[in-house]
Amino acid sequence: MFTPLHDRVLVRRIEGEEKTSGGLIIPDTAKEKPQEGEVVAIGAGARNEDGNRIEMDVKAGDRILFGKWSGSEIKLEGEDLLIMKESDILGVMA
C-alpha cells in the first residue's frame, strides 16, 4: 500500500455521468476529467513553525471536490489515482 507524506492526499476520481439529461451518451473524448473523488489515504500532516504536526481535515473515505488542475496523476497497482496537497481540496461533500 502507498502512504502519502506530510499534507498530501491520495485520491480516486469518481467518474461523472455517461449520459446527458436528454439521454445522449457522452463519448470518452468529450468528457472532462471529474473534479470529484474519494480520499484513499492521507499523510500524517504538515508541521507548523514550532515543529508540531497539523492535523489533516480529511480522512480516508471522504468524498471531496478539488480544482480542475489539482494533483499529479499516478498509476498504483494498475489503478489511476491522484496525489495532491490537502490545500488543493476545495471541500468535503456531506
Residue 64 has pLDDT above 80, yes or no: yes
Residue 66 has pLDDT above 80, yes or no: yes
The residues near 18 (Cβ < 8 Å, ≥ 6 apart) are 25, 26
> Could you say which DSSP state residue 24 is in?
P
pLDDT level of residue 1 (50, 70, 90 thresholds): confident
* CATH code of the domain made up of 1-13+35-51+67-84: 2.30.33.40
Q: Is the dihedral of CA 58, 63, 68, 70 positive or negative?
A: positive
Residue range 73-93, pLDDT digits in tens: 999 999 999 999 999 999 999
Residue range 29-59, pLDDT digits in tens: 555 566 899 999 999 999 999 999 999 999 9
Neighbours of 16 (CB within 10 A): 12
Domain ranges across the chain:
1-13+35-51+67-84
Q: Are 11 and 84 contacting, i.e. CB atoms less than 8 angstroms apart?
A: yes
Mean pLDDT of 10-18: 82
Residue 28 has pLDDT above 70, yes or no: no
What are the phi and psi torsion angles at 85 (to 5°)?
Answer: -75, 150
For residue 80, what are the β-bridge partners?
75
Cα 42 versus chain centre, distance: 10
- Model's pTM, two decimal places? 0.80
Q: Are 58 and 86 contacting, i.e. CB atoms less than 8 angstroms apart?
A: yes
Mean pLDDT of 13-33: 65
